[in-house]
């Protein structure tokens, strides 16, 4: 089949790569020339320096004969003559902190697409095509898409909702081996086309292939993300807070007690300073906005968002509250800038808020390291006298007054091996926002280090 992707972010690029690997002929369009050049370079390392997704480079290189990346809309218009499906993979960012989605990118792309669709097949529009909403969009978005197409005079088309449930950093694996594929359509003809596109999943005994209507598909994505977000908030604001409050509770021990109950499960039971990224926060606020606009209350949804925000504020505030720490003119190590491991994405990263906090507190220097996301972080905090970037976490922590661990990269578990022997005179305050050093808290305490960790009471170093 011939498939067009509009938008080459991590959703569009990864989904397009899987379509090519499934034997389809794929064209990917984006207005970002640099990104298109990198993704279409045919070089694995170049691809993965653009989108830090494990396996994406190899997949694109192996299937380069079946996938093309372009910024030339003329190629898109020519492709529409033979196109079977158009996947809309566009950003729908939040407007401020209102919960309302900024749909300008989507509407602009849909409007431009409608003009091309109207002209396809020399104006006869003989070729039937489905327009697939892949991005996370409001529940009634299918109606908006249809309105745009109908107003432009587009004929012989269908609108489908096919939300992604991908995890950043594992999007290729999640696209190759999804636990479920959700397709929302009103017409059997559209379901049939999608089954052909997703034949490898439709026939798979391990994939749940779910067919619903488009509104149910869009709502399912929002509700799934809220449910996951809510579980994280419970972990931070209830389980973790309990462990921080009462002596004699070990967070990892309690996690075992809870996770062995199959009704609770294991996902989301890792305490953290914040749940960031592009999905959970935005989608929770979008759900709240849509409910309230429709006249419903959204107290639980709003409470989840506030619990996450409160978690970061309380974690950073513990330095002043528990050890009377004065940030002024101090030297800080910020270890990790990505919102989580296995990605270079810094959207809603805790480290951004921490960076602004440190500037407000007039710290002298912030020494930063992240294995993947520093280039993106430099766009927010320019490298200079105050924000200093390093090539290794061991270099970033030298001679600092505070070490803040903000991202759960596995390699950070070895930090204590350097901190303890190299800090004989100066003992930095350890602020572990991911419990990466929990296996060494006792050693750090014995060596005289004060430790503030999510999920633990204040650990005072032995003097």
| 3-state secondary structure string across the chain | CEEEEECCCHHHHHHHHHHHHCCCEEEEECCCHHHHHHHCCCCHHHHHHHCCCCCHHHHHHHCCCCEEEECCHHHHHHHCCCCCEEEECCCCCECCCCCCECCHHHHHHHHHHHHHHHHHHHHCCCCCEEEEECCCCCCCHHHHHHHHHHHHCCCCEEEEECCCCCCCCCHHHHHHCCCEEEEECCCHHHHHHHHHHCHHHHCCCCCEEEEECHHHHHHHHHHHHHHHHHHHHHHHHHHHHHHHHCCCCCHHHHHHHHHCCCCCCCCCCCCCCCCCCCCHHHHHHHHHHHHHHCCCCCHHHHHHHHHHHHHHHHHHHHHHHHHCCCCCCCEEEEECCCCCCCCCCCCCCHHHHHHHHHHHCCCCEEEEECCCCHHHHHCCCCCCCCEEECCCHHHHCCCCCEEEECCCCHHHHHCHHHHHHHCCCCCCEEEECCCCCHHHHHHHHHCCCCEEECCCCCECCCC
Q: Are 197 and 80 in contact (CB under 8 A)?
A: no
**pLDDT over 90 (residue 394):** yes
**pLDDT over 90 (residue 244):** yes
| Bridge partners for 129 per DSSP | 157
Query: pLDDT over 70 for what percent of the chain?
Result: 100
CATH classification code of 219-463: 3.40.50.720
Query: pLDDT over 90 for what percent of the chain?
Result: 91
Q: Span 109-121, mean pLDDT? A: 97
Q: Span 138-147, mean pLDDT? A: 90
pLDDT tens-digit series, residues 158-212: 999 999 998 888 888 988 999 999 999 999 999 999 999 999 999 999 999 999 9
pLDDT tens-digit series, residues 349-374: 999 999 999 999 999 999 999 999 99
Band of pLDDT at residue 392, cut at 50, 70 and 90: very high
The pLDDT value given to residue 158: 97
Sign of CA pseudo-dihedral 40, 43, 44, 46: negative
**pLDDT over 90 (residue 444):** yes
Q: What is the mean pLDDT of the chain?
A: 96
Cα(285)–Cα(260) distance, integer angstroms: 31
Q: Span 263-273, mean pLDDT? A: 96
The pLDDT value given to residue 124: 97
Arch. (CATH architecture) of 2-212:
3-Layer(aba) Sandwich (3.40)
pLDDT tens-digit series, residues 293-332: 999 999 999 999 999 999 999 999 999 999 999 999 999 9
Cα(230)–Cα(444) distance, integer angstroms: 33
The pLDDT value given to residue 52: 87
Q: Are 121 and 81 in contact (CB under 8 A)?
A: yes
**pLDDT over 90 (residue 96):** no
* Surface-to-core class of residue 247, CB atoms within 10 Å of its CB (0-12 exposed, 13-18 middle, 19+ buried): exposed
The pLDDT value given to residue 347: 95
Beta-carbon contacts of residue 247 (< 8 Å; ≥ 6 apart): 457
CA distances to 400, 419, 449 from 425, rounded to whole Å, are: 12, 11, 11
Rg (CA), the chain: 24
Cα(15)–Cα(437) distance, integer angstroms: 36
| Bridge partners for 387 per DSSP | 366
**Exposure letters 378-390 (e unless 16+ CB within 10 A, then b):** eeebeeeebbbbb
The pLDDT value given to residue 424: 79
* Surface-to-core class of residue 308, CB atoms within 10 Å of its CB (0-12 exposed, 13-18 middle, 19+ buried): buried
The pLDDT value given to residue 140: 86
Main-chain phi, psi angles of 129, to 5 degrees: -140, 145
CA distances to 144, 229, 284, 297 from 288, rounded to whole Å, are: 20, 13, 6, 8
**pLDDT over 90 (residue 51):** no
Band of pLDDT at residue 278, cut at 50, 70 and 90: confident
The pLDDT value given to residue 422: 87
Which residue, 173, 161, 114, is CA-closest to 137?
Answer: 161
User: What tokens appear for 249 in the block?
Assistant: 């509770």
Pinpoint the residues of the chain covered by CATH 3.40.50.720: 2-212, 219-463
The pLDDT value given to residue 10: 86
The pLDDT value given to residue 350: 98
CA distances to 66, 84, 163, 179, 440 from 200, rounded to whole Å, are: 17, 17, 18, 13, 46
The pLDDT value given to residue 434: 98
Say how far residue 325 (Cα) sits from the centre of its chain.
33
Which residue, 369, 337, 371, is CA-closest to 354?
Answer: 337
Band of pLDDT at residue 425, cut at 50, 70 and 90: confident
**pLDDT over 90 (residue 287):** yes
CA distances to 6, 173, 264, 382, 407 from 36, rounded to whole Å, are: 12, 22, 42, 26, 29
Beta-carbon contacts of residue 319 (< 8 Å; ≥ 6 apart): 325, 327, 402, 429, 431, 452
The pLDDT value given to residue 142: 82
């Amino acid at each position: 089949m011939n498939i067009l992707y509009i938008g080459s972010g991590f959703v569009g690029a990864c989904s397009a790569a899987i379509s090519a690997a499934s034997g389809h002929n794929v064209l990917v369009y984006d207005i970002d020339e640099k990104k298109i050049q990198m993704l279409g370079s045919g070089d694995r390392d170049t691809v993965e320096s653009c989108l830090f997704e494990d396996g994406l480079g190899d997949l694109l290189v192996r299937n380069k004969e079946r996938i093309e990346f372009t910024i030339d809309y003329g190629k898109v218009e020519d492709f529409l003559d033979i196109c079977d499906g158009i996947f809309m993979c566009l950003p729908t960012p939040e407007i401020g902190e209102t919960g309302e989605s900024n749909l300008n990118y989507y509407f602009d792309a849909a409007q431009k697409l409608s003009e091309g669709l109207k002209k396809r097949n020399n104006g006869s529009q003989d070729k039937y095509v489905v327009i697939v909403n892949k991005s996370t969009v409001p529940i009634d978005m299918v109606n908006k898409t249809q309105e745009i197409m109908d107003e432009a005079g587009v004929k012989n088309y269908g609108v489908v909702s096919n939300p992604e449930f991908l995890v950043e950093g594992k999007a290729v694996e999640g696209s190759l081996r999804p636990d479920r594929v959700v397709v929302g359509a009103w017409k059997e003809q559209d379901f049939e086309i999608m089954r052909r596109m997703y034949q490898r999943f439709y026939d798979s005994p391990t994939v749940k292939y779910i067919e619903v209507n488009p509104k149910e598909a869009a709502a399912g994505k929002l509700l799934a993300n809220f449910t996951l977000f809510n579980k994280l908030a419970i972990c931070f604001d209830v389980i973790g807070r309990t462990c921080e409050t009462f002596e004699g509770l070990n967070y990892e021990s309690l996690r075992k007690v809870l996770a062995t109950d199959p009704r609770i499960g294991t996902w989301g039971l890792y305490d953290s300073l914040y749940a960031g990224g592009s999905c959970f926060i935005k989608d929770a606020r979008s759900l709240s906005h849509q409910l309230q606009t429709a006249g419903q209350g959204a107290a639980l949804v709003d409470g989840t968002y506030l619990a996450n925000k409160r978690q970061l504020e309380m974690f950073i505030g513990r330095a002043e509250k528990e050890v009377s720490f004065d940030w002024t003119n101090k030297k800080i190590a910020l270890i990790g800038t990505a919102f989580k491991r296995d990605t270079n994405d810094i959207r809603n990263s805790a480290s951004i808020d921490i960076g602004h906090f440190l500037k407000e507190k007039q710290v002298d220097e912030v020494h930063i390291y992240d294995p993947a996301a520093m280039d993106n972080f430099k766009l927010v905090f320019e490298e200079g006298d105050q924000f200093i970037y390093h090539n290794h976490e061991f270099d970033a922590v030298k001679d600092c007054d505070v070490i803040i661990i903000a991202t759960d990269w596995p390699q950070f578990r070895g930090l204590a091996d350097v901190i303890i022997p190299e800090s004989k005179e100066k003992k930095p305050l350890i602020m572990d926002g991911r419990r990466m050093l929990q296996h060494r808290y006792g050693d750090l305490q014995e060596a005289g280090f004060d430790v503030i960790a999510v999920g633990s009471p204040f650990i005072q170093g032995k003097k």
